[in-house]
Structure 1
Amino acid sequence: MVLSMMLRKFDCEITMAKNGKEFVDLFLEGGKFDIVFCDDYMLIMSGPEAIEKIRAMGESDVKILGLSTNNNAQEMFMSVGADVFVPKPMKLYVLGAMIQEVINKKDNTMV
């Protein structure tokens, strides 16, 4: 909820998944996303498990951020295909920089 409030400050369109399985199902249903924030502790399927499945589907264009209060989770997230690990609580300036990076990449590919 905190992250979604922060994202609204950047006028982001937000799709929320209640658990890791729902997260994977969004991609299976053809959902396309620019950036995804994934917690390590998600119900039904953990964040890293969900990331691994999404990457196995060939989804390489989406930027995936692993989030955790556990700083030791970084290696786990990166080993399954996350692009970035961000310790919680996420800072607004870090979020802004991540969103700007995705926007810049998108703008450069549209030229």
Structure 2
Amino acid sequence: MGSLVKVLLVEDTRVDAMVLSAMLRKLHCEITMAMNGKESVDLFIEGRKFDIVFCDKDMPIMTGPEAVEKIRAMGESDVKIVGISAKNNAQEVFMSAGADVFVPKPIKFDVLEAIIQEVINKKNNTMV
């Protein structure tokens, strides 16, 4: 069994965060929570490392796409960033900010599982 997938969950809506955390725990992820984009950027500034970031779009202080841009600008090119939103225009905004994937809300478990599996496969390949 490899190491746990380290997930940063950036979500200001408590219910959404709880639902997503529960699904991620089923997939054996280690979860760190951030309430907005600024908190997520601060974690990277502190030198924390994550395998994957799930980032909501509309949050107070700093939006998801702004956070994604800043994280990428810090040279964090390996971390997989998943933009999540129920908004129609969110995909373009996230992709142009540097996200790898966009997933509409509400997120389905099988979609989440596939994304996490990709990260696990990538981790296992780089550890050889």
Whether 2:7 is the aligned partner of 1:7: answer: no
Whether 2:57 is the aligned partner of 1:40: answer: yes
Query: Aligned to 1:16, what secondary structure does the other structure show?
Result: strand
Aligned-residue sequence identity (percent) comes to 78
Whether 2:93 is the aligned partner of 1:76: answer: yes
Equivalence for 1:65: 82
The TM-score with structure 1 as length reference comes to 0.98
**C-alpha offsets along residues 7-40 of structure 1, whole Å, 9 cap, x if unaligned?**
0111110000011110100000001000100000
**C-alpha offsets along residues 61-99 of structure 1, whole Å, 9 cap, x if unaligned?**
100000000132100000010000000000000000000
Which of structure 1's runs of 4+ aligned residues deviate more than 4 A? none
The TM-score with structure 2 as length reference comes to 0.85
Distance in 1 separating the partners of 2:36 and 2:95: 20
Question: How many residues of Structure 1 are paired with residues of Structure 2 in the alignment?
Answer: 111
Query: Aligned to 2:32, what secondary structure does the other structure show?
Result: coil
